[in-house]
Structure formats: C-alpha cells, structure tokens
C-alpha cells in the first residue's frame, strides 16, 4: 500500500500566477473553478509583454551567435552585447509583474547584471587585438 503524498497531483493544481499566491496558496475568494473545456496547454505565446521582449533578447543573441560562427566574431559579440543591454533597458522600464522571464532577481540587480555583461562584451570586442596569421 502506497503512502499518501502531501503534494497535490499536477492535474489537480490550478494554473495561476505565482504573484497572486499568499504564503504559497491562493486566497479562498480567488480559487478558480475547474473548467475541463479550457485548454491552457495549447497556448504557445508569451503571457506578458516581458515574455515577448525576452524572446527578442534571445533572438538577438541567436543572431549574434550565428554571426560569430559564420562571420566576423567581433560583430557577433556586439550583437550579443546589444541584446543584453536591450534586455537591461526593458527590465528597468517594465514593472516586475510584466517583465516575464527577464525578472529573475530584483529589478536593479537584473538590469545591472545584464548591462554589465553586455557592456563587457562590447569592451572586449573593441579591445582584443587582431591575431597575426
């Protein structure tokens, strides 16, 4: 006989935003009714504007990686740095609840880390000397 687990099965847990939770639980007036006709699993788009900007940052980084592999590495590194600095600016402008996956830590720490790494990539792409040969 299997012991009863204190955790709910995934299909029994309502799909809600973590920002609405209080001490890990929804307030009783906000508990959604189970709707078997809704198909939340079929959604394939970001739920916040920050999610869309996150995808733009990923796309810019992917373009930069492609340029690094098949073109001039300095240009590719500049693209990656620009994507990260763009992500830092978006993180500063958007409120935390709308920032999507750009929000990992506090707003200022996220922006500082993103802009710092992006600026460092720009600096390195400009200052590393060309190698002979």
Q: Show me where the domains of the chain are located.
A: 10-41, 49-127
Q: For each successive 10 residues of the chain (133 residues), what is the average pLDDT?
A: 59 64 62 53 68 94 96 95 97 90 91 97 93 75
Which residues does residue 22 pair with via DSSP β-bridges, in sequence order?
25
Distance CA 4, CA 2 (A): 6
- Closest alpha carbon to 92 in 47, 46, 45, 53: 53
pTM for the full model? Answer: 0.66
Distance CA 28, CA 50 (A): 29
- Predicted confidence at residue 92, as pLDDT, reads 95
Specify the pLDDT at position 46. Answer: 66
């Amino acid at each position: 006989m299997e012991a009863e687990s204190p955790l709910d099965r995934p299909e029994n847990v309502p799909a809600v935003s973590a920002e609405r939770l209080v001490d890990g639980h929804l307030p009783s007036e906000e508990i959604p009714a189970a709707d078997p006709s809704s198909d939340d699993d079929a959604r394939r788009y970001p739920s916040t504007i920050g999610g869309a900007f996150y995808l733009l940052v990923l796309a810019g980084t992917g373009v930069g990686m492609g340029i690094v592999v098949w073109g001039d590495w300095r240009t590719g590194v500049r693209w990656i740095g620009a994507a990260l600095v763009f992500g830092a600016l978006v993180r500063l402008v958007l409120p935390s609840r709308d920032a999507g996956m750009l929000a990992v830590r506090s707003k200022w720490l996220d922006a500082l880390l993103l802009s710092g790494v992006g600026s460092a990539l720009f600096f390195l792409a400009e200052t590393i000397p060309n190698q002979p040969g």
